[in-house]
Amino acid sequence: MQERGSITVHTENIFPIIKRWLYSDKDIFLRELISNAADAISKLKMLGFAGEFHNSGEEFEIHVTLDKDARTLTVADNGLGMTAEEVKKYINQVAFSSAEEFLQNYQGDVKQQIIGHFGLGFYSAFMVAEHVELDTLSYKPDAEAVLWKCDGTTSFEITASERTTRGTAVKLLIDRENDEFLDEARVRALIRNYCDFLPIPIKFNGEVANRQKPLWTQSPNSLKDEDYKEFYSYLYPFSEEPLFWVHLNTDYPFSLQGILYFPRLATDLDFSKGQIKLFCNQVFVSSNCEEVIPQFLTPLQGAIDSPDIPLNVSRSFLQNDRTVQRISDYIAKKVADRLKELFREDRERYVSCWKDINLFVKYGVMHSDKFYEQVKDILVFPVSGTETYVTLGEYLERNKERTKDRIYYTSDLGAQSAYLDLFKAEGIEVLVLDSLIDSHFVGFLERQQETKFARVDSDLDENLLNRDKASELVDPRTNKTRAQQLSELFKSMLKLPKLNVRAESLKTDTTPAVLLMPESLRRFKEMTALMERKQVEFLEEHTLVLNTNNPLIQNVQRLEESGKDNELVELVCQHVYDLALLSQKNFDAQTMSKFVQRSNEVLTRLSSRAVE
């Protein structure tokens, strides 16, 4: 038997397209050939279940053989093989899918997966080979072995083969431009990368080269924590143990399996780079699946396996595909369910993980209304000065007698410590919101929950003030209080046109003065700086609040009234303002130099008066 002819193609220059543009990486050729071999074995197993093939106990295997001296790489299987007519139909007619036709014939008989399409996948071999041979013998009785040869043109040759065993072997003569695929370590790495989890042993030069046990195909009830941790270490060597994980498994309305891990996350998350590995029927497809999962879940790690995700299509197509959108929603819901489960069953562990997961949860609720509705009741926040974490509902309930519907928070425990002391003295809890996105997150929560957030330096709660002392009259002729007189004194001494000054009697006498920054304007500045990747500018329009209950402030007023040392009054007023200013901004070199100089001068003058 001998036959010559031309390959039927739908494009005149099919081979240049295959070599340059069919796939982005040449590595893919080995994945495609091994997938086709696995296809052939899966089909034969299905025929066995259907009673059309009897297996006498033979083990199904795929063999990859490298002969560096002969410059050949061979992928062989003991699957169903092909007849001469099938070779003509499935190989010579490029882009015709035997897998689709096979599934139509045996649909519903047994749940087996067909990985690829024998057609363009097979022709990916020509990306690295100058000559390809396909040697095959069908499982069908009385079938004759066939040898197909092609040198990379549209011409082929079919002859009888001496093959006596069922299956198919594809031999590639590697061209001179692709010597890398004659390196044993390189080929072994490709097998591990793309086909590590195929459920069929892949032997490379006689040794099994794949793991064969993807954890996601097993029942969660049969797995222990150590199994999940070991699998994570295999996927991501040298990484810390994951915080927890979620096992995905659904057959309707799409087929999807996988395991997603919550790693210990850095504070500078990059939501544009995914780390979740995408598989199709246990064959590796991509190192990330950014178009398949919600963007806010990209910091997660693990593996997703689905035959229902369309491959080799544009990103825009994926993003708009209805099935992909359903898969995305399903994954987000399962992640939310896992978080809620952990919150209910082991809140202590949930809280301990919060510092690692809070950024992506916050990012998620701001970008997905569905995700927000699913997790809104388990958003927790640390209470400053304690080890306690509370939900917003719990905070409002715990502080309702003091703050009503207002939530106080701090964005910097160190810089805002003076304010925190004021709230602590009155038993008012303050939440800690100190991540980069919290300024935006606070605004989001206000819109969603109709709750007012106020940073501790934005205003003074009524519970911190003693209104009776602040209203004491000191000059019947002008009807001015001590508070009004102090405000005018500091305003005149500081000479800052945009500075507002007011005096209040705080219930504590330890703090001489604080600066208040308007909440809405400050948030706007913070958001602008975040978007422009700049430092937040200091607000020139702010308020200096003097504490009339503080001895230093009282002494300044008495000193001014005595008229004995106006220069010292001015120095002390400036010093009080600078002390309050330190909680809001870092001094530059010039400002710090003046502050130190002024401090020395104030101390010198006061010590001199003390020894007179």
- Which of the two residues, 406 and 611, has the higher pLDDT score? 406
**What secondary structure letter does DSSP report for 252?**
S
Taking only the tens place, the pLDDT of each residue in 64-86 is 999 999 999 999 999 999 999 99
Q: Is residue 1 scored above 80 in pLDDT?
A: no
Residue 182 is predicted with a pLDDT of 97
- 222 phi and psi angles, rounded to 5 deg: -95, 0
Weakest mean pLDDT among 3-17, 98-112, 333-347, 566-580 = 98-112
Closest of 197, 240, 241 to residue 218, by C-alpha:
197
- Cβ(226)–Cβ(268) below 8 Å: no
Taking only the tens place, the pLDDT of each residue in 224-259 is 999 999 999 999 888 899 999 999 999 988 899 999
Q: Considering the domain 2-208, what is its CATH architecture? A: 2-Layer Sandwich (3.30)
Residue 404 is predicted with a pLDDT of 80
End-to-end CA gap in the chain: 124
- Which of the two residues, 435 and 225, has the higher pLDDT score? 225
The side-by-side arrangement of strands in the sheet containing 72-77 is 2-6, 155-160, 146-150, 129-137, 167-174, 72-77, 62-67, 202-204, 207-208
Q: What is the pTM of this model?
A: 0.79
- Equal CATH topology for 2-208 and 466-611: no
Q: Is residue 51 scored above 90 in pLDDT?
A: no
- Cβ(167)–Cβ(27) below 8 Å: no
- Which of the two residues, 288 and 581, has the higher pLDDT score? 581
Residues above pLDDT 70, as percent of the chain = 86
Residue 9 — very low, low, confident or very high, per pLDDT cuts 50/70/90? low
Taking only the tens place, the pLDDT of each residue in 124-179 is 898 899 999 999 999 999 999 999 999 877 788 999 999 999 999 999 999 999 99
Weakest mean pLDDT among 347-351, 413-417, 443-447, 472-476 = 472-476
Region 379-462: CATH code: 3.40.50.11260
In 10 A of CB 276, how many CB atoms? 25
The rounded distance, in Å, linking the Cα atoms of 380 and 565 is 54
Each domain of the chain, given as residue ranges in start order, spans: 2-208, 215-344, 379-462, 466-611
Mean pLDDT for the chain?
Answer: 85
Residue 437 — very low, low, confident or very high, per pLDDT cuts 50/70/90? confident
In 10 A of CB 515, how many CB atoms? 21
Closest of 198, 141, 145 to residue 167, by C-alpha:
145
- Both tokens of 49, joined, read 């279940």
- Cβ(191)–Cβ(209) below 8 Å: yes
| Topology given in CATH for the domain delimited by 215-344 | Ribosomal Protein S5; domain 2 (3.30.230)
| Topology given in CATH for the domain delimited by 466-611 | Four Helix Bundle (Hemerythrin (Met), subunit A) (1.20.120)
Residue 475 — very low, low, confident or very high, per pLDDT cuts 50/70/90? low
Taking only the tens place, the pLDDT of each residue in 492-533 is 999 988 899 999 889 888 889 999 988 888 888 777 777 777
**Rg, the chain, Cα only:** 37
Q: Is residue 469 scored above 90 in pLDDT?
A: no
The rounded distance, in Å, linking the Cα atoms of 472 and 504 is 11
Q: Is residue 314 scored above 50 in pLDDT?
A: no
For residues 489-493, average pLDDT: 92
Residue 372 — very low, low, confident or very high, per pLDDT cuts 50/70/90? very high
Burial class of 164 by CB neighbour count within 10 A (0 to 12, 13 to 18, 19+): exposed
Taking only the tens place, the pLDDT of each residue in 93-138 is 654 444 445 445 545 444 444 334 434 578 889 889 999 999 999 9
- Cβ(416)–Cβ(456) below 8 Å: yes
- 282 phi and psi angles, rounded to 5 deg: 75, 10
**126: amino acid identity, one letter:** F
The rounded distance, in Å, linking the Cα atoms of 390 and 382 is 7
